[in-house]
Structure 1
Amino acid sequence: MNDQFEFHQIPYTAREVPLTLQPLLWEGGAACDMRIFWKKVVDNKLGAMHESRVTLIRTIYNLLSDIVVAGGSRETLKTGVNHVRSFYKCADLYRMHPTAETALVVYCKWVKDLYERRKIDNTNGSEAGIYGAASFMASLLGEATELGRDTFVVTSGLQPPRKSSAALGAKVDRQNFSQTKKFAEVLIDIINSISNNRCLGALPLKITFRSGLSVEHYAAAKRNASVPAAGSNILLDTSPSIRYPVFNIRIEAEMLLFMSQTSMNLSEASKLKLQDFRFKEEGAFTQVYAYKGRKKGEVIFTIFKEYKPFFLNYLAFRRLINSEANSSLLFGRFPQPGNPVSRNPNPRSLIMFLKRMGVPHRPASEFRKTRQNWLARKSGNPEMASEMAQHDLETYARNYAKPHHQTAATEFAGFYARLAENRKAALGGGCVEVNPIPIASTPLEINIPDCINPALCLFCVNYKGQITYDYIWALLTFGRLKMYEDLCHRKGQAGGITENSIVKRVREIAKQFSEVNAKCSGWYLKADGKVRAGEYHPRWAGFFDIIDAVLI
């Protein structure tokens, strides 16, 4: 039978069942064993195919196919397919048919079910595993529906797994820095062993580590049962077809060392072009520009001043081995003869070499975390550290910041002293007191404002707004959200707070904001126009999709 959603981009053995999304077109198909799926279809045990599912499944299929085309491994594809099947199992459980319009509702139910099942059975996936699956599907569905990943994450309440409190210990902190330092030394030993002077010398090349471990590398030279004679021609062959394995090991070692200095991620570093670089000293750092004719180009990355000699030496290595003839990329690797260059940016040659040597490999992300946490602690300025790492402060805090025992002790000491001055309010803005106090115009149904519920936070005298455009846009979006909710719940419960009271309070605060000065008035008019046009603040935008689904 015709399978329009089978993944043909990867090879299969004779005994393997090809990966496909075809079963998802049938209710109950996601949970069906592929070995008996088609028999069930022929026997009509799964009922009729649901045409409403075709469009979304085709989009998901194309996105997963793109992962393979971009160099993703078969394991990555297999994991992605399993996550999609899990999502559709949940849809089948609730007798729902995911489309671009209903995917968000199904996703929220799926995430909730994942965590509920884990509460019942602790063996049913780790917290990190559940987050990984849900995060993957949020990105996939966000692109497939054009709602964006954040809509799915925010609406479902998905939170990253909690970091272990053990990271606060001084011993753990020292171990992290020690292990990172040791691996950096391993990379430098490899670079020095496959040096500019030795890389084109007679094979074998001797790679020596400061730990005393050493190995002779024959690159791709064919070896007989005995060690080849030192004078044989193939051991003197300097062509990439023979030397590509050792060239690639050094290139990948250089790439990881480069990433540790720039905080670039693997995808960014692997796409950098080999070009005419210019340098400008800025204190303890060096800014690297792309030179374009007589014009000074933009800053591409920033490195520690001490790393500059390593980088210049690497550029000389690339010229020596004539890498431009093979690739225009700064860290472009050499292919095995007869095969195209892999699009997978992972340093697989280096990883396999270290594995054979019994040397532990540490991912580049550990370098980046170590560098940025060191910068943040050294300067006392996380904003500067995140800016140097080329991403925003929120990304730094979510993905890179690690607790430090000494910093934590200092920060906790001053925390309670500052708590009474200002703290973040539930809705956004600030709060100047710990205990909530209702305003004089608080509706009768509200006794004490709630510091957790954003709506009730507005009815407290301690609530303080912010003089920013983002604040008024978020506030007006929240007011519009409450108006929409009122459409869904016209018959409010007796004694409960009504959405009309909240909307009235939002308008009151918004009016006060618009009267502060001319700039605030302009911000108010701009934000009000956006909200009326349906362009909502990201913090609340995802909830409108749920309401639309309910109203439909």
Structure 2
Amino acid sequence: MAELDLVFKGLALGTHETPWDLQVFLYKGAASVRRDLVIQAIQDGKFGDIVQGRLPFVIKLHEVLQSSLSRGSSQQTIRTYLENLWRFYSWVDIADMLSTENAIIPTFKAWTEHLLKRVNINKDIAQMTAYKRASLIANLIAQALDLPGAKPGHSLMLTTRLKRPKKTSKTLSTEADKQNLADTFEFGHTLTTICNNLDIETVRGSLPIKILLDQNKVLTIAGNLIEPDLDVETIENSGVKKGAIIARQPLEENISLLETHKRSSILNLRIESELLIFLAQTGMNLSQAVALSKSTYRWQSDGEDYEVFRVYKGRREGEAIFRCYKVYRDHLQTYLDWLDKTELSQNDERLFPMISRGMIRTQTSKVSISTLKNLFKKNNLIFINPTQLRNTRINWLLRNTNDLTLTAEQMGHTTEVLLKDYMRPHHQRASSEIIEFHSLIDPAQSAPGPGLCVDSHQPKQIVNFPENAPVPDCISPEGCLFCEKHRDVMSSEYCWKLASHLELKRLETNLYKPSEHNYIHPGNLVMDRIKLKLKAISDGSEIRNTWVEDAQNSIRSGKYHPAWDGYIRLLEVMV
């Protein structure tokens, strides 16, 4: 089978990366071996002969992916498909399942049952992760077998028990939103502290590196040290002690940072921190940011922001590549100088040239911020991923500008995408929008009596207007209570005002001496109306009931609302 070529043409590789070769799937057990070792093991005969029944389907898989790659599909997408194919075939070998054309669909369904077990019993994988992995393989199988239908991969997934988890909308309280912003600010402070402390002298200096976050928190950057807090003076073996001392010493001046991998994790720590700061400042997405090259930049002021242009050789023109806040310019320039001093710029033209033991990665390789994540996890710090950072920036901009179109333009999205994928509910914004809405359709204003009026100087009696009740005239406070344009206010202050008004009318009616015709004093009708309103408010909810009880207790203790206090004091003297 030497003439069989199942390697992918056009898939970019890093300096130390092994080509993706689907011939691995033809040998039982080979998919579980590291890719950089498996081809040699196959050539040495450690996996025996190929499984002939697998060959037709593997060839079709290669054709599907190679065709997709040739059409210009994202290289990262192709890599994701390949990574999941390796997981799938590794399980196929372990479970001793068939992977021929005729058996691949039943095998796939069995694999989804295995994923379900991991989700529900082993609980070592999330349901969404399991669903996404299975969906990728279902799409490949559907294309390779040329299954019918508009979305054959989705149709295949519907035949399994593995379903897409429902989106659960978590209640977002005002405190949760404040906490989100507080966590983001704290995260940004930590990133900035890391960047400011990992200058060229510190990176080349002695290990471990200690970074003081605050009076109670110190980050320990170990580099390649296994035991960073080890006291070398306690080591009794002279050879081991000498090695420990050498490992902790600063790099000699003639040694480049790139000649040894011992400081690569420290370099990556600053690069990853700078990357997240850059994302928070510019709003650019992760894939765009890591693809940026370190160029000569031209800065152009635009109000509170800078527009940054790439300068082409021999001329100053260029396209705007990102926009950032003015205060970020100095920070970014310091980082660009740091890249030059570390010599990273000489080996990699990218703005964020993350390294791995001397390996230069391709621009299409998956971005991992693992060094920073592990440091935060080890020190019990809250880590905010790029998607969350971008989401927070978008919602902050939207909240402060109140302009959906402007925010979408700045973040490089359509308004539809912004609303669908990024915008989150916010209590203060929702409250202001509700108030604005009611102001438009129900423009309430102060009324002569307690509460609000929605149509001043055009009073209208309520339905079933009581005989002898005060007539609404936009002058009499009592008349407001019998007007259709009157609105209650759901607040404790309003309940206090109503209760005080009730006390005023009680004192007023006590001064009244009934006539021979048993004429009903209008004050009694006002009192009945106020009591009805207070009862309706009290029955509305537990908190409203508390408002009414507090108001009544205030009246009993002689604390009246300022609007009626003076009148009540006068009547108390008269009574």
Give 1:144 shift: 8.2
* 1:208 partner SS: strand
Alpha-carbon displacement from aligned partner over 1:195-246 (angstroms, at most 9, x marks no partner):
3553344554332223632245463589954752799564666621343332
Letter in 2 for 1:310: H
Give 1:329 shift: 0.5
Give 1:139 shift: 7.8
Q: 1:69 to 1:9 in 2, by over 3 A?
A: farther
Q: 1:70 to 1:54 in 2, by over 3 A?
A: closer
Q: Which residue of 2 aligns with 1:381?
A: 403
Choose which of 358, 361, 364 in structure 1 pairs with 2:383.
361
Give 1:395 shift: 2.7
Alpha-carbon displacement from aligned partner over 1:295-351 (angstroms, at most 9, x marks no partner):
4211101112222221111112112222221101011124424x4447432123323
Q: Which residue of 2 aligns with 1:249?
A: 269
Q: Which residue of 2 aligns with 1:275?
A: 295
Q: Which residue of 1 aligns with 2:187?
A: 183
Give 1:153 shift: 9.9
Q: 1:162 to 1:296 in 2, by over 3 A?
A: farther
Q: How does 1:308-457 map to 2 (within 5 A)?
A: 308-337=329-358, 339-341=359-361, 343-411=365-433
Tell whether the 8 Å contact from 2:204 to 2:251 is kept in structure 1 after alignment.
Answer: no
Is 1:199 the counterpart of 2:199? The answer is: no
Query: 1-side partners of 2:212 and 2:28: how far apart?
Result: 42
Tell whether the 8 Å contact from 1:202 to 1:236 is kept in structure 2 after alignment.
Answer: no
Q: 1:401 to 1:140 in 2, by over 3 A?
A: farther
Letter in 2 for 1:239: S
Q: Which residue of 2 aligns with 1:18?
A: 30
Q: 1:168 to 1:357 in 2, by over 3 A?
A: closer
* 1:228 partner SS: helix
Alpha-carbon displacement from aligned partner over 1:74-99 (angstroms, at most 9, x marks no partner):
865546779999xxx9x999x9999x
Query: 2-side partners of 1:417 and 1:83: how far apart?
Result: 62
Is 1:299 the counterpart of 2:326? The answer is: no
Work out which structure has the larger RCO, using CA pairs closer than 8 Å and 6 or more positions apart in sequence.
Answer: 1
TM-score normalised by the chain length of structure 2 = 0.50
Q: 1:55 to 1:334 in 2, by over 3 A?
A: closer
Q: How does 1:102-251 map to 2 (within 5 A)?
A: 128-129=128-129, 132-133=132-133, 136=136, 163-196=167-200, 198-210=202-214, 212-217=216-221, 219-220=223-224, 224-225=240-241, 227-228=244-245, 234=251, 239-240=256-257, 241-242=259-260, 243-251=263-271
Q: 1:285 to 1:379 in 2, by over 3 A?
A: same
Q: Which residue of 1 aligns with 2:283?
A: 263
Give the RMSD, CA atoms, in angstroms: 5.6
Letter in 1 for 2:315: R
Q: Which runs of 5+ in 1 are unaligned?
A: 21-37, 43-47, 99-109, 420-552
Letter in 1 for 2:29: V
Q: How does 1:15-164 map to 2 (within 5 A)?
A: 17-19=29-31, 56-60=60-64, 62=66, 76-78=84-86, 128-129=128-129, 132-133=132-133, 136=136, 163-164=167-168
Q: Which residue of 1 aligns with 2:475?
A: none
Give 1:383 shift: 2.2
Aligned-pair identity in percent equals 24
Give 1:194 shift: 0.5
Query: 2-side partners of 1:357 and 1:59: how far apart?
Result: 47
Letter in 1 for 2:410: M
Tell whether the 8 Å contact from 1:263 to 1:389 is kept in structure 2 after alignment.
Answer: yes
Tell whether the 8 Å contact from 2:183 to 2:382 is kept in structure 1 after alignment.
Answer: no
Alpha-carbon displacement from aligned partner over 1:29-78 (angstroms, at most 9, x marks no partner):
xxxxxxxxx99x89xxxxx8896x67753334548999689876986554
Of 394-403 and 198-207, more deviation after overlay is shown by: 198-207
Give 1:375 shift: 0.4
Of 153-162 and 301-310, more deviation after overlay is shown by: 153-162
Give 1:255 shift: 0.7
Letter in 1 for 2:195: I
Q: 1:412 to 1:178 in 2, by over 3 A?
A: same
Query: 1-side partners of 2:294 and 2:67: how far apart?
Result: 30
Give 1:414 shift: 6.6
Query: 2-side partners of 1:263 and 1:137: how far apart?
Result: 33
Q: How does 1:465-544 map to 2 (within 5 A)?
A: none
Tell whether the 8 Å contact from 1:68 to 1:77 is kept in structure 2 after alignment.
Answer: no
Give 1:405 shift: 2.1
Give 1:267 shift: 1.6
Query: 2-side partners of 1:388 and 1:251: how far apart?
Result: 25
Q: 1:80 to 1:154 in 2, by over 3 A?
A: closer
Query: 1-side partners of 2:256 and 2:137: how far apart?
Result: 45
Q: 1:323 to 1:231 in 2, by over 3 A?
A: closer
* Alignment size in residue pairs: 373
Q: 1:144 to 1:157 in 2, by over 3 A?
A: closer
Tell whether the 8 Å contact from 2:207 to 2:248 is kept in structure 1 after alignment.
Answer: no
Query: 1-side partners of 2:317 and 2:146: how far apart?
Result: 38
